[in-house]
Every structure is written in structure tokens, then in C-alpha cells.
């Protein structure tokens, strides 16, 4: 089954973790995938190889999404390859966790730049072609903490709450053009990002999850795949929580 055959997907921050699994999953289902990375070229090439190995089509492309010019260059490069994304997954994200009182201006601003402005810049660049085609799927990867708040993550939770709200307004603004905009909000997922958490924090989190375990990046990718596929064409402006029951809407 290749529900995404003929589709082009750009996944930002796809060199590892959740982004990498999303890229593989979309490619496995027929989409050609642009694997965006910021610094880890080798990792991004590994994802491209993984995809080639399962008979999919992908290439790696560098850009720091928090920089508007970088995003412009990224889309110019995609365009030169005649690669016009019909699926955009705004996944690139960074954390700079600290107690609220200890967050510097830079800690706050840099997280907003990548996690929120990066998604805004990419969405702006991807929209014209989606509008021309009258079809598009934009999937923003938020986080449970954008809904629940989380001590030590004032910057990250603000960026993710903002991204979810951005997503809702985009769904309203671009629905008439056939563009679906949704949010996937992962809970506690086993990735490099969460591996860095102290053991006691991890144990505390597990206690708050009814299913009693962390999720996998692949389980997040499954939700993204569904939202990217035509079978979810009547879904827009929604948040899909992949969190084992950790936070209930």
C-alpha cells in the first residue's frame, strides 16, 4: 500500500528522533521525502540510506529553520529539484531547559526562533504551491507540555503552545484552499532529547502515564502518517495527543 505515492514531503529536523521516524514512515508509504537537518549531516544521510534500503525516495537538505533566509534558501533548493512539498511536517525543535528564574533572554528567544518561528517560516514558504494545487497537509509537532505546562520548560512549553495555536489559525485561514493543518502532541517519547533527563524525572513521568511506559518515535510517526494520508482529509485544526494517557483533553 502506498497511500502517499506521488507526494512530496518535507520533514524538518529529520536527522534523528521523532523526525527521522516520520521521514522513514512517510517514505515507506510512497512519499518522496526531503530530510532536513541543521547540523547532523551524517545522521541525515543515514536516514536517507535507511529509506533507500526500503525502496523509498529521499534526500538530505541542510537548513536552520529558525533563520528566515535559511528557510528561503532551503525552499529555493527544493524548487531547483522540482520538489514542491504537498506535505510539510514542522518537526524541528530544540530545548534549553532551566528553572524559569534562570532562563536567559537567549535561552527563551532561541527556543522560540527554532520551534515556533521555524514552523512559521516553513509554512509561509510551502503555502503558495499548496494553494496553487488546492491541496496540502501541514503537520506541526507540538508537545504535551504546550498544553499542560512543565516546570523547567517555560521557553519550550511557550513555543509549543504557540505552535498549536498557530496551527489552529492556519487551519481556519487555509481550509478554503484545501489545506489541512493539524498538530501532533507527543508525550514522553524515548528519544535523544528525553534520554538526557535525570532518572527520577523519568520515573515521575512514567507514574503519570496510564499505559505505564514511554512511547516510541515510531508511534508518533504513525499519527503523522495518518494525518498526511488522504484517509484523514476531513480532519483539520485538531491536536492529536500521542501520550499514553499522560494528559487528557
Partner 1 sequence: MNKPLDAKTALITGASYEVGAACALKLAQDGANIALAYDADKDQVEQLAAEIIREGVDVKLFELSIGESASCKGVVDAAIELFGGVDIFINAQTAFLSKPLLETTEQEIDYILQNNLTGTFYLCRALARYMMKKRWGRIINIIGFAAFLGAAGETVFSASLGGVAALTKTLARELGSRNITVNAVSLGLTDTKLIKRVDNLLIDDYLNCAIVKRLGAPSEAADIARCLALPTSEYITGQVVHVNGGLYI
Give me the active site residues, please.
156
Q: How far is the CB of 35 from partner 1 (least distance, A)?
A: 25
Which parts of this chain interact with partner 1 (CB under 8 A)? 68, 99-101, 103, 105, 108-109, 112, 116-117, 120-121, 123-124, 127-128, 145-155, 157-166, 168-173, 237
Q: How far is the CB of 147 from partner 1 (least distance, A)?
A: 7
Residue number with CB closer to partner 1 (232 or 236): 236
Query: Which contacts of 101-109 are long-range, i.e. CB under 8 A and separated by 24 or more positions?
Result: 103/154, 103/155, 107/155, 108/154, 108/155, 108/158
Number of residues written out for the chain = 249
Backbone angles phi, psi at 54, to 5 degrees: -95, 15
Backbone angles phi, psi at 27, to 5 degrees: -65, -40
Residue number with CB closer to partner 1 (216 or 235): 235
Q: How far is the CB of 99 from partner 1 (least distance, A)?
A: 7
Q: How far is the CB of 72 from partner 1 (least distance, A)?
A: 10
Residue number with CB closer to partner 1 (78 or 144): 144
Residue number with CB closer to partner 1 (116 or 246): 116
Phi-psi region of 53 (alpha: psi -120 to 50; beta: other; left: phi over 0): alpha
What is the DSSP track for 127-185? Answer: HHHHHHHT-EEEEEE--THHHH--TT-HHHHHHHHHHHHHHHHHHHHHGGGTEEEEEEE
Kindly list the distances between the CA atom of residue 201 and the CA atoms of 188, 212, 217, 229, 241, in Å, as whole numbers in the listed order. 11, 14, 19, 36, 21
Amino acid at each position: 500500500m502506498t497511500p502517499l505515492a506521488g507526494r512530496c514531503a518535507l520533514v524538518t529536523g529529520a536527522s534523528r528522533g521523532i523526525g527521522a521516524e516520520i521521514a522513514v514512515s512517510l517514505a515507506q508509504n510512497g512519499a518522496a521525502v526531503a530530510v532536513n537537518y541543521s547540523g547532523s549531516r551524517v545522521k541525515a544521510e543515514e536516514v536517507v540510506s535507511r529509506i533507500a534500503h526500503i525502496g523509498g525516495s529521499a534526500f538530505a537538505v541542510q537548513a536552520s529553520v529558525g533563520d528566515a533566509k535559511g528557510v528561503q534558501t532551503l525552499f529555493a533548493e527544493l524548487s531547483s529539484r522540482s520538489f514542491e512539498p504537498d506535505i510539510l511536517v514542522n518537526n524541528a525543535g530544540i530545548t534549553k531547559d532551566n528553572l524559569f528564574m534562570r532562563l536567559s533572554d537567549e535561552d527563551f528567544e532561541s527556543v522560540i526562533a527554532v520551534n515556533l518561528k521555524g514552523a512559521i517560516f516553513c509554512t509561509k514558504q510551502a503555502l503558495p504551491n499548496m494553494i496553487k494545487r488546492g491541496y496540502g497537509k501541514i503537520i506541526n509537532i507540538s508537545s504535551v507540555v504546550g498544553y499542560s505546562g512543565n516546570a523547567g520548560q517555560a521557553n519550550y512549553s511557550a513555543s509549543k503552545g504557540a505552535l498549536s495555536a498557530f496551527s489552529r489559525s492556519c487551519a481556519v485561514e487555509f481550509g478554503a484552499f484545501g489545506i489541512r493543518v493539524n498538530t501532533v502532541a507527543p508525550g514522553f517519547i524515548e528519544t535523544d532529547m528525553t534520554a538526557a533527563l535525570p532518572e527520577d524525572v523519568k520515573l515521575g513521568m512514567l507514574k503519570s502515564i496510564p499505559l505505564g511506559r514511554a512511547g516510541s518515535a515510531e508511534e508518533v510517526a504513525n499519527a503523522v502518517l495518518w494525518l498526511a494520508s488522504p484517509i484523514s482529509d476531513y480532519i483539520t485544526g485538531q491536536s492529536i495527543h500521542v501520550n499514553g494517557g499522560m494528559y487528557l483533553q
